[in-house]
A and B are shown apart, each in its own frame.
Chain A
Amino acid sequence: MLKLVKYDFRRDRDKFLAVFVITILVQFVIGFTVRSDQEMFMMNVTSYAVAGVVLLFFSLRTFGQNLRLFNRRLVPVPVLYTVLSPVMLFLGSLLGLFLVAYIHLAVDIMMFSTSFLPEKFWLISAYTVLIVFWASAYSMLLVMFSMTVAMSVRVKGRVWIGIAVFFVIQYIISLLESSMFDHKNITLERAFRFEVTDEAAKLNDIEISQYVLGLLPTLFEAVIITILVFAIVKLVKKRVES
């Protein structure tokens, strides 16, 4: 499967590299223009988030191409690999993005000091990274599932059907999770909550124990992810149409 990922990457190699380069440049720009620490942190996080979304977009595009292009459809590999390789590509590139972010952080620390960082930052950020990975994989698979559904139907408005499927399933899963688990523990929601709120003020007071990944919700989400992958593979196999 790694070979598949290699070719997924090479197809858009320039685009992926561009994302990284631009992100780094943007960090420089932010560093030199924005004065307030809080604002800068927000902008940094936002720009990394945007980069992440762009990487997601390219990875999804690659998934679509893998299903369309003849040379990929003829390769004697299990459908599962074809489905998972864009996900691997995405997560791999996310990892790269996180590395850039950490290096950026290291540079900032060297230039200024650690005073602007809240306590237990490293531990919390490590958890954040894991949770973001988890949520990203989930989101990507959800979109991939919707794309596959849309591509399996030979009706005129199938793009809209795909979009509808995405929102509907997203909503259903949220409902299920809200009714089964306590909001604080839902792994997926925590990932996005970090992105949106300004933690700098809050993190100082919060106990680590609360940031341990809740077991049940995570298990539930793992099951969802497995079902999604299974469903995508099934649909792709059935769909095998020109």
Chain B
Amino acid sequence: MENILEIHDVTKKYRSKHALRGVSFNLSAGKITGLLGSNGSGKSTLMKIIAGLTQPTSGRVSIIGGAVGIDSKAVVSFMPDKPLTESWMNVKDALKFQSDFYPDFDQTKASRMLEFMKLRAQDKVKDLSKGMNERLQLTLALSRRASLYLLDEPIGGVDPVARTKILNALVEFYEEDSTILLSTHLVSDIERIFDDVIFIKEGEIVMHTAVEDIRMRQGKSIDELFREVYAEC
């Protein structure tokens, strides 16, 4: 089976600083993979490269066998750390934007998610609280039937109640064959959702394993392992 995502030796340099160094990994379809790392470890940069917002200094990314470009943008749903909505929009406008430009947008799923998240069509984006806004961003990202979902810190900076709601939504609206790459530094809340985890530290991949393997073989939780790996950070 073809890999949904293949990253070959990707490096990203800003002036003299390396955000990513020789990163390589593959993601096969139908798994939820956690991209774990402390702040500044390169998670966001990597996601932006996959989403097509920036280009690697060297290396190759292929999405369903093709290079990053217009075609890949049409099948990749990215939820960045900054909102995907403009201040003049209300919830209905935000959804319409998605449906206007992405053929894989699923209106029915969007309506269901809005109801689940308790968002109303006429709510103005600039009046939403941080938690409600995160819910909206997640709705926008998951309402598309994309081949690859990239979620950058979906539960960061949000109160525990909203966090739980967002995790609920993730599980509730997850399609069995979708591939999700989710980055976070808050591990314990979310670790039971992952199939695999990738640890990234200072721009390099440190580990890429199945979550249950770690629990089985090392008797540790991912959170514990995370603390060990990033102890000196």
Which residues between 44 and 80 of chain B lie within 8 Å of chain A, taking CB atoms? Answer: 48, 51-55, 70-71, 73-74, 78, 80
A184 contacts the other chain (CB 8 A): no
Contact A70 B82 (CB under 8 A): yes
Q: Which of B53, B74, B80, B86 contacts A11 (CB 8 A)?
A: B86
Among A75-83, A123-131, A161-169, the stretch in contact with B: A75-83
Contact B70 A70 (CB under 8 A): no
Chain A residues in 8 Å Cβ range of B55: 240
B102 contacts the other chain (CB 8 A): yes
Contact A76 B53 (CB under 8 A): no
Convert A49-90 into 0s and 1s, putting 1 for each residue whose CB lies closer than 8 angstroms to a CB of B.
Answer: 000000000000000000001110111111000000000000
- Chain A: minimal CB distance from B19 (Å): 10
Interface residues on B, range: 20 to 34
B85 contacts the other chain (CB 8 A): yes
Chain A residues in 8 Å Cβ range of B100: 3, 7
Which residues between 224 and 242 of chain A lie within 8 Å of chain B, taking CB atoms? Answer: 240-242
Q: How far is the CA of A241 from the CA of B51 in the complex (A)?
A: 12
Contact A71 B102 (CB under 8 A): no
- Chain A: minimal CB distance from B43 (Å): 14
- Chain A: minimal CB distance from B95 (Å): 12
A10 contacts the other chain (CB 8 A): yes
Chain B residues in 8 Å Cβ range of A71: 84-86, 97
Contact B86 A69 (CB under 8 A): yes
Asked, given contacts A11-B88, A70-B80, whether A77 binds B48 with beta carbons under 8 Å apart, the answer is no
Number of A-B residue pairs having CB atoms within 8 Å of each other in the complex: 46
Contact B53 A74 (CB under 8 A): yes
Chain B residues in 8 Å Cβ range of A240: 52-55
Asked, given contacts A3-B101, A240-B54, A242-B53, whether A74 binds B70 with beta carbons under 8 Å apart, the answer is no
Chain B residues in 8 Å Cβ range of A76: 70-71, 73-74, 101-102
Chain A residue, CB-CB nearest to B82: A70
Chain A residues in 8 Å Cβ range of B83: 70
- Chain B: minimal CB distance from A3 (Å): 5
Q: Which of B71, B78, B88 contacts A74 (CB 8 A)?
A: B78
Q: How far is the CA of A241 from the CA of B53 in the complex (A)?
A: 7
Q: How far is the CA of A157 from the CA of B28 in the complex (A)?
A: 46
Contact B48 A74 (CB under 8 A): no
Chain A residue, CB-CB nearest to B86: A11
Contact B84 A75 (CB under 8 A): no
- Chain B: minimal CB distance from A77 (Å): 7
Interface of B with A (CB < 8 Å)?
48, 51-55, 70-71, 73-74, 78, 80, 82-86, 88, 93, 97, 100-102
Further 7 A-B residue pairs, CB within 8 A, beyond A3-B100, A73-B53, A75-B101: A11-B86, A70-B53, A70-B82, A74-B84, A76-B71, A76-B101, A242-B54
* CB-based closest 5 A-B pairs: A76-B73, A76-B74, A71-B84, A75-B101, A76-B70
